[in-house]
Structure 1
Amino acid sequence: MPNASTFLDLKRRGEKIVVVTAYDAPTARIEVEAGVDIILVGDSVGVNILGYAHEREVTLADMAHHIAAVRRGAPQVYIIGDLPYASYDTIEQAIKSSRILQEAGADCVKFEGAAPELVRALTAAGFDVCCHLGLESQHHDVKRRQGKTAETAAKLYDDALALDAAGQKFIVLELVPQELAARITQAVKAPTIGIGAGAATDGQVLVVNDLAGITMREFKHNRRYGAVGAALSEAVSAYARDVRAGRFPEEAHAFHMADEERAAFERGRDGEA
């Protein structure tokens, strides 16, 4: 079973870390077979699976439920779980929330924003911590690139260093310039995981719905590696056509009683109105 030190060693050796989201056991099982290093159970479950309008609607119970499902599908993979919005407003609340995610199966908890004191407290309580800078889906109403100016880039850089000094095990950099992500990656001890942050980070993460083509929207930071949404739509449409036309089920899909059991059944029904 890998631990945080496993990925620190990968960073030191210059080997890239592959991270993908998952929200259920079958998807997690497929990702394990495909060779991912880390599974992120993100609060993106809200808009990708649960039909919520925003990540802020995701609850701690939602996260624990989906982390547990992913753990059942991936018993030997390192799992990072998101602390959802308003579940880490105080240190005491963050520790309690993190314990719930850990009990569900998370190896590491992730939160958004520059809060070194929270990293120190969670680390002291025995949790691996992944930080998240750049676009913060829980806290930014408009999802746009961050760190575009020298001033905002410097703030993100300084925040990353402060989080690292506090003991973060990983840091996600989302929708920040490649140059900034490269400088942060060089400056911090913890592995950096990029999404829309260029190729210089220690690892990459994508939302599985986006890379597999379940999501219909196009994102600049994403590459579609499949057309699962289109394939599923085609499969269900074909099924619907066959049912309506009487082509499914066929004889090959039916089960039959043994002749003697059928005869006994029919005798028992004789005389019924």
Structure 2
Amino acid sequence: MSNASTFLDMKRRGEKIVVVTAYDAPTARIEVEAGVDIILVGDSVGVNILGYAHECEVTLADMAHHIAAVRRGARDIYIIGDLPYATYDAPEQAIKNSRILREAGADCVKFEGAQPEIVRALTAAGFDVCCHLGLESQHHDVKRRQGKTAQAAAKLYDDALALDAAGQKFLVLELVPQELAARVTRAISAPTIGIGAGAETDGQVLVVNDLAGVTAREFKHNRRYGAVGAALRDAVGAYARDVRAGLFPAEEHAFHLADDERTAFESLRP
């Protein structure tokens, strides 16, 4: 199994790190077969799978449940799991809740915001920590680009350095200018994982529903690599038409009693 040092070595060699989300065992299995490096079980499970209106509705139990499912489908891959909203407000709370995610199967825990004291506490307790700057879905009601002014960019840059000094193993940069992401990537030791942060981060992450075309909404930072939603809609529609027309199930889909068992059954229940 990979560990955090594997990805630090990849950064040093200039090798890009491939990260994608998963929320269930079958998807995780497919992603491993496809050759991804890291699976992120993100709080995006809330809006993509659970039908919540916002990521802040995701609970610790939700995260543990889906991390465990992903681990069952991907036994050997490195998994990052999100600490959900209001579960890391203090060091002791963060440690307690990170243990739950680790027991579920996470190799690394991720949280949003510039909180070096939380990084230090988790690192001292033996956890790999992934930090997250830029758009913070748990804390920003409106999802828009961050770091658009010089002052805002400088603040994010300084926050990245502080988190690195505290011991982060990864840093996700979401919806920030490419120039800022590039500067941060060069300045810190930890690998940077970008989403809407341009091409100069050490790795990239996308939500699997977005890249596969399950999500209906288009995002500037996303590229659709498939049309899974349309394919599933077509498949279910064809099934519904066949059932209504009496075309499914056909004879080849049926099972039959052996002739002697059928005769015996009919004698028992004439």
On whether the aligned pair clears a TM of 0.5, the verdict is yes
Q: How does 1:94-105 map to 2 (within 5 A)?
A: 94-105=94-105
Tell me the distance in 2 between the aligned counterparts of 1:149 and 1:198. Answer: 17
Q: How does 1:179-194 map to 2 (within 5 A)?
A: 179-194=179-194
State the shift of 1:177 in Å.
0.0
Q: Which runs of 4+ in 1 moved over 2 A?
A: none
Tell me the distance in 2 between the aligned counterparts of 1:163 and 1:75. Answer: 29
If the length of structure 2 is used for normalisation, what is the TM-score?
1.00
Mapped pair 1:248 → 2:245: no
State the shift of 1:89 in Å.
1.0
Aligned length: 270
State the shift of 1:234 in Å.
0.1
**Residue aligned with 1:171, SS:** strand
State the shift of 1:90 in Å.
1.1
Equivalent residue, structure 2, for 1:233: 233
Tell me the distance in 1 between the aligned counterparts of 2:191 and 2:92. Answer: 27
If the length of structure 1 is used for normalisation, what is the TM-score?
0.99
Equivalent residue, structure 1, for 2:82: 82
Q: Percent identity?
A: 87
Q: How does 1:1-273 map to 2 (within 5 A)?
A: 1-270=1-270
**Residue aligned with 2:86, SS:** coil
Kindly provide the amino acid, as one letter, of the partner of residue 251 in structure 1: E
**Residue aligned with 2:10, SS:** helix
**Residue aligned with 1:132, SS:** strand
**Residue aligned with 1:129, SS:** strand
Deviations 1:86-136 (A, max 9, x none): 111111110010000000000000000000000000000000000000000
Deviations 1:132-154 (A, max 9, x none): 00000000011000000000000
Deviations 1:132-188 (A, max 9, x none): 000000000110000000000000000000000000000000000000000000000
Tell me the distance in 1 between the aligned counterparts of 2:108 and 2:78. Answer: 8
CA RMSD of aligned residues (A): 0.3
**Structure 1: runs of 5 or more not aligned:** none
**Residue aligned with 1:39, SS:** strand
Kindly provide the amino acid, as one letter, of the partner of residue 149 in structure 2: T
